[in-house]
Structure formats: C-alpha cells, structure tokens
A = this chain, B = another copy of it.
C-alpha cells in the first residue's frame, strides 16, 4: 500500500503563512461566526509557527484548541461556550490552515474538496429553461435537432407532447425503432399501448392489439399510406407524415411485425441514421440505451460553423437511471448531458417551458392554437 508524506512546510510557499486565528464559541453547541468547516482530507493548522495535524479528523466539523494546547476536530453540537474555534475559509495555508488536497485518490478533482461532484445524478437540478431556450434557438437559426426515442415515451402520455414538438417545428428528424411506431399506431387505432390504456388499465384481449395494428399497416403497405387511408389519425407518426418530417425506423431482433417502413438490415439502418447524424446540430436522446448509444457512436462532439469556428453539439440524454448516461459517456459521447427522470415527465415539462418561453417572447398564432387544443 502506497504511503505519502505530509507537505514540506519548509517550502517557500509556506514562508509567509500566519498562525491560525481562533474565536470563542458564543454558546453551547454554536460555532463562532466564520468558523473553519473541516473536510476529511489531511489538514494542518499553524500554531506558534508549527503546522499541527488536529486529532480525530472528520468532515463538517470545527477545529477546537483546548486549554492544554491540544487541537481537535469536533462536531458543532459538542462545542462548549467559550471553546476556542479556528476561523477562516481558505484551505491553502494563507489563513494558517492547510488542507492536503493533492492526496485525493482515484483521480478525483485534485484542487478541492467539494460535494456534488458526480457528473450525472438524479439529485442535480434539471435546467428546463436552458434546454427550452436551446431548442427554440435551434428552430430560429434553422438548425437540425435530431430526436432519438425509445418506446417508453409512447407507453406513457408523452406521446401527445412528442406530437406537439413535431407539429411545431422542433424536430429535424426522428430516429427510433419499430416499437415506437407500433405503440404509437396502436394508440391511434385502439387507444391502448400493449393493451394498456393511457391511465394504465389492462384491457381484455389487449395482448393482441399491437399485432392487429401492425397487420393493418402491413396491409396498407406503409405508414404514410395508412395515414392517407385514415387508419392512423393522430400521434407521432401521423405528425411526421403530415409535416413531412423525416423518420428512420430501424429494426431489431425484438420486433413484432415489423412495420413495412422498418429498415431491417442493421448496416443499412446505420447508414440511414448517419445521413441525419451528419446534419445534426443538436441531439435529444430519450429513454433508449440502444438508439442513444448507436447515435452517439456516429455523432461528432462538435458542430463546425461556416466561419471555421466550432461549437459543442448539445446532446441531451434522458433516462430514468444514471446508468444509460454513464454508459453513453463510457462509450465516448462525453458531451452528453444527463437528465435523470421519467420520459413522460421530461416531455411534459420541456414542452411547458418552451410554451412559457414563447409566451414571454409573444407566441406565434400556430403555437397558441395548438396550446388551446391540448
């Protein structure tokens, strides 16, 4: 096991450091204003010109100098009125307290002890306002945002929100699998997905409904023809057809059917996806590990601008666990920004924030009527 030495306090950097300053605790269990808050890293306090490590180190506590001149790390609640407690907020020695941050193991940030340093966490706030503005800007500048979605989006009621984004010009292309279209079309024809209603009830005989939906589209010949023939009357695929938004449905070994539009050869399917990935100026990946990582594989981390400058390609990855986002990053899509939530809720709030932002800018009539119709 490797060991490491304490800092070399004879180094010039420490020459001008003062002794630490102490202030009395104003009451039992109350630390003085400006108290130094400890970390779990090796810590040294300058007393009479010598750097002393306090005893019983732990984080989130005070540094107490007892009457015998002994220095302790002690929780605030255990402080007594009048106890001398170190004050300061710098960890670099300039206030007489030095924290040996370079010891931090396992490649963590070497410069500071911080909380909440993980890259992806459900505990981090989601900045919907920022994402809404990005999306509106992409639309305004004629960008090409690609949406890559899994079937969880259609199981739940996010279907109508996704339809709204398509109808209102926020989708450059939709990349998905057979299941997204199957569930969406089952919902249009029968009002269910996998036989479950949109409030979560199981219907009698429902397990065959997705097969009947597929069969109707196979009989029609294509999704576009099924829209023309009035078989499909609303939803994600309907809006794509109506607004001429390109979609790529790629096949997988899980597919029932599949629908006639599905590209069943994986390499042809990659080529079809890549034709959109090359043009992408933003990517929104929702509730799909397979399609998200496939897209990440073929997506540059940047967008080249006409003037030779570059900018990051905003890549938002939404999933109910941290795992998919970490996996995407672990396969090289470092620019992915993770949003850990339920796909249905993500869609609903993102739409809400886009609508709010548009309202604050003065919404277009189209958007307003769409909002009214919801």
* Interface residue ranges, A against B (CB under 8 Å): 1-6, 26-27, 29-31, 35-37, 39-42, 53, 56-60, 75-77, 89, 103-108, 113-127, 130, 134, 137, 152, 155-157, 194-196, 198-200, 202, 205-208, 210-212, 214-215, 218-219, 250-258, 264-267, 269-270, 273-274, 277-278, 289-291, 293-294, 296-302, 304-305, 308-312, 314, 320-323, 326-327, 329-335, 337, 340-342, 344-346, 348-349, 352
Knowing A30-B219, A31-B215, A37-B207, say if A345 contacts B334 (CB, 8 Å): no
Q: Across the interface, which residues of B come within 8 angstroms of A194, CB to CB? A: 115-116, 330-331
Q: Is B297's CB under 8 angstroms from A254's CB?
A: yes
Task: Give complex CA distance A219, B28 in Å.
Answer: 9
Residue of B nearest to A214 (CB): B76
What chain B residues lie within 8 Å of A41 (beta carbons)? 300-302
Q: Considering the chains assembled together, what is the distance between the CA atoms of A122 and B36 in angstroms?
A: 38
User: 19 A-B pairs, CB-CB below 8 angstroms?
Assistant: A2-B311, A3-B305, A39-B332, A58-B274, A58-B298, A115-B194, A115-B195, A115-B202, A115-B207, A115-B331, A115-B332, A117-B330, A121-B323, A123-B152, A126-B342, A264-B266, A290-B290, A321-B323, A340-B342
Assess whether A219 is in contact with B77, with CB atoms less than 8 Å apart: no
B207 touches A114 (CB 8 A): yes
A320 to B124, CA, bound (A): 13
A93 to chain B, nearest CB (A): 15
Instruction: Tell me, rounded to whole Å, the shortest Cβ–Cβ distance linking A172 to chain B.
Output: 17
Smallest CB-CB separation from A260: which chain B residue?
A: B29
Q: In the complex, are the beta carbons of A200 and B40 less than 8 A apart?
A: no
Known: A5-B308, A123-B330. A253 touches B270 (CB 8 A): yes
CB of B270 within 8 A of CB of A344, answer no
Q: Closest approach, in angstroms, between the C-beta of A157 and any C-beta of chain B? A: 5
Is A122 in contact with B250, judged by CB distance below 8 angstroms?
A: no
Decide: A254 near B290, CB < 8 A? Known: A115-B330, A122-B323, A337-B106. Answer: yes
CB-based nearest B residue for A352: B352
* Inter-subunit contact A218/B104 (CB<8 Å): no
Given known contacts A332-B39, A340-B342, A349-B349, A4 and B311 CB-to-CB distance under 8 angstroms? yes
A103 CB, min distance to chain B CBs, angstroms: 6
Collect the chain B residues with CB atoms within 8 Å of residue A323's CB: 121-122, 321-322
List of B residues within 8 angstroms of A348 by Cβ:
349
Contact among B258, B270, B326, B341 for A345, CB-based, below 8 A? B341
Q: Are B252 and A105 in contact (CB under 8 A)?
A: no
Closest B residue by C-beta to A195: B115
Query: Quick one: which of B117, B118, B291 contacts A253, CB cutoff 8 A?
Result: B291
The minimal Cβ–Cβ distance linking A135 to chain B, given in whole angstroms, is 12
Contacts of A334 in B (CB 8 A): 104-106, 108, 113, 117
Closest 9 CB pairs of A and B: A37-B208, A341-B342, A251-B266, A345-B345, A253-B294, A3-B309, A57-B300, A108-B334, A115-B194
Kindly state the separation between the CA atoms of A42 and B342 in the bound complex, as whole angstroms. Answer: 33
Q: Which residues of B are found within 8 Å of A267, using beta-carbon distances?
A: 77, 251, 258, 264
